[in-house]
Structure 1
Amino acid sequence: MRKKNKFIPVNPMADEFGAGISIDRLTLYDVSISEQTTSDGSEEATQSHRHDSHSFFLLESGTVHIEIDFQQYKIKSPSVIYMHPDQVHRTTVLEKITVSSWAINTENIHAEYLNLLEDITPVKPLTLAKETFSLMSEAVSLCLKFAERKNDKLYHSLLKDSCNALVALVLSQYLAQAQPTDKLSRFEIVTKAFRETLERNYTAAKRPAEYAQKLNISIPYLNECVKNTTGYSVSHHIQQRVILEAKRLLYYSDKSVKEIATALGYDDYPYFSRLFAKVTGMTAVAFRNKNRD
């Protein structure tokens, strides 16, 4: 049965060295979500949670089944995945894996990389070419050696720079699959800016006019850009982002529907309830009950 929590658990990742950075490589043996405990300590990963940092996982061998924001993925080695702090996830099956993981908090990520990471979220697992995987695995091994040198005068700088190099390697793989910014149309540029603004403001700003004002463009033009690029209106995207967070809280926490409404910026609880039902086709309570064991 799913563990009940008042809030979505946030697992600390980036405090292993007291520097806002963590890196590790480990081997885990077969386990499924039905098992309550495992000898390798992987129980925590099988419970739905967020991380307190930007997290990266290099699957060097084996297969992992993972659920990220209600989407199921079967990841086979060699693969890499980036996990944004907002994303709720859990591991459901491990099939004899070796995985390297590193996490770095916002303060320690290079500003350029942080902006790029925000641009590509939410992200999905990427399969790596042999040469790229080999390079990334070697880079992790080097970073692990740096992490052992705690008596070095520039220990934190060494750890920070080497982990940022790993972040850059992962980013380069995601960016290789993305459309170059200099080739984006004006509509796509505006839509990209809207999505970034939405991610930062969805709990406070609920009307298209608020986003148009933040972007210094008219409401009709914002709608035209977003609908032309995505096929959906600005209002649709605002509602979808809010409802995704509502689903996360309904499924992974035991906050009341009224508490969730308040947390998402809705003082009018009945309005939030109607909105949830309109977007999902069921009430918030029905959604929660449907997904409980």
Structure 2
Amino acid sequence: MASGTLYSKYFEGLFVRCSMKRKQAAIPRHHIIEGARAGIFIRGIAEIHTLHLHAITEPHRDNHFLLFVMDEGYVDMLIDFKRHQLQAPSISLIWPGQVHSLVEYRNAGGYTISFDAPLMPVPLQRALQQAIAHKPVFSISPGLHQQLMQLCCILHQLNNDNQGIFTVPARHSILQSILTLLANEATVPDPCNRPADTRSVVIEQDFRELLHTRFKEWKKPAEYAGALAISTSHLNDMVHQVSGFSVSHHIQQVVMLEAKRLLYHTPLSVKEISNELGYDDHGYFSRLFKKVTGCTPLGFRQQYR
């Protein structure tokens, strides 16, 4: 496979952007690449530098999932403030909305698959979200690695095949096979073999889905409980039972993660970020940020820049 080394201008770019006197800024958000067939675009990792993509070495979000399946070599990525190194056999699943950038790759082999969010079936999304959403790099067994590489190879071949009325469902089926195998390996069975409380899991996942779409407008547990047609206490009990944390904790964590992204990747003022996240009182926002993260918003910006 082709090999190459790509060194990011990432940190240099941060300082350049910090010096710009713009009042409005946003982290770039990209759609799936033009030429994606049936909502899927697969390419060899070594092909990245030959494609006319957006600035992948600059912090950005995608509106789609991005899956790396490593076969050889090394990839270094920054995902939500943390450096992650991918080496075979491993995978990385980047979720829509996560801020990421490519720092470096060396002699990298394997595949990247971009795919539209609706192609991730809800049961698989919930299983993967529960298992690996907070650890973007996931080591896999040699057996699974071999299976994934075989499926990726077939999907790559089908990517250029426009013939046949069943080519599109074939692509979708292979993608779902890849995701199903990942979910199967990532999901840890209960050692006590206790049956899961399906109702509590469904409520917790429904809450998380609402949270990621409404966190800028809704800050109170009662607002989520109302949308789910249950009482606030029942929602809190179900969420705590599944995750070990309260509804308020999850709301604060999601809001503060987005605040960190904006502090780190944009020149917006604390007041502008506070308004962007739905807080009219930026003094309250600053106090909440310090309570949750242990430092002030400006302290965080200075520390990480």
TM range (shorter): 0.7 to 0.9
- Matched with 1:33 is none
Counterpart among 98, 101, 117 of residue 112 in structure 2: 101
Q: For 1:74-112, what per-residue CA distance to the aligned partner results, in whole angstroms no more than 9, with x for missing partners?
A: 3220222221111112233423211311112235x26xx
* TM-score, normalised via structure 2 length: 0.78
Counterpart among 44, 59, 65 of residue 54 in structure 1: 65
Counterpart among 171, 182, 206 of residue 219 in structure 2: 206
Q: Kindly, what percent of the aligned residue pairs are identical?
A: 30
Do structure 1's residue 14 and structure 2's residue 22 form an aligned pair? no
Report the alpha carbon displacement of residue 238 of structure 1 after superposing the two structures with TM.
Answer: 0.7
- Matched with 1:178 is 187
One-letter code aligned to 2:125: L
Aligned residues, how many? Answer: 278
Distance 1:22 1:128 in 2: 23
Report the alpha carbon displacement of residue 159 of structure 1 after superposing the two structures with TM.
Answer: 4.5
Secondary structure, aligned partner of 1:58? strand
- Matched with 1:3 is 13
- Matched with 2:256 is 243
Q: 1:227 to 1:63 in 2, by over 3 A?
A: same
Do structure 1's residue 166 and structure 2's residue 175 form an aligned pair? yes
- Matched with 1:32 is none
> What's the RMSD between the two structures over aligned residues?
3.1
- Matched with 1:278 is 291
Distance 1:12 1:216 in 2: 34
* TM-score, normalised via structure 1 length: 0.80
Secondary structure, aligned partner of 1:183? coil
Runs (4+) of structure 1 exceeding 4 A deviation are 38-43, 179-182, 186-189
Q: For 1:124-168, what per-residue CA distance to the aligned partner results, in whole angstroms no more than 9, with x for missing partners?
A: 323233332222222222222222234x364xx624641552243
Do structure 1's residue 89 and structure 2's residue 100 form an aligned pair? yes
- Matched with 2:161 is 149
Do structure 1's residue 232 and structure 2's residue 232 form an aligned pair? no
Q: 1:267 to 1:247 in 2, by over 3 A?
A: same
One-letter code aligned to 2:13: K
What residue ranges of structure 1 are gaps of 5+ in the alignment?
Answer: 30-37
Distance 2:245 2:60 in 1: 30
Q: 1:290 to 1:212 in 2, by over 3 A?
A: same
CA contact 2:77–2:104 (8 Å) conserved in 1: yes
Distance 1:131 1:64 in 2: 21
Q: 1:177 to 1:106 in 2, by over 3 A?
A: closer
What residue ranges of structure 2 are gaps of 5+ in the alignment?
Answer: 1-10, 18-24
